[in-house]
Amino acid sequence: MARVCEVCGKRAQMGNSVETRGKAKYLGGVGTKITGITRRQFRPNLQRVRVATPDGGVKTMKVCTQCIRSGMVRKAVKQKPFKLPG
């Protein structure tokens, strides 16, 4: 389960890395040309997060940033180590 979001299941996707050469037409050139296309992986931005579970416990999970921002997981609150009386 490496490089997979434990909430939404997002994983690496394959795509193309496009190499271009030349100056764009709007900058005064003759246009850019594609000089090479190679395969590459688009990996999700996974973060290791301490998540609060519904039963009150805490669990460490690998979660993508999209799930964190959308509120699909609730981060565990760090408690103070002790509290002074008074």
Per-residue pLDDT of the chain (86 residues; tens, 9 = 90+): 589 999 999 999 999 999 999 999 999 999 999 999 999 999 999 999 999 998 989 999 999 999 999 999 999 988 777 888 87
30: phi then psi, degrees, rounded to nearest 5: -95, 0
Structure tokens at 64: 């993508």
The full set of domains in the chain, from first to last, is 13-70 (2.30.170)
Placement of tokens 């999700």 in the chain: 44
Distances (CA, A) of 18 to 6, 23, 27, 36, 56: 31, 15, 20, 6, 48
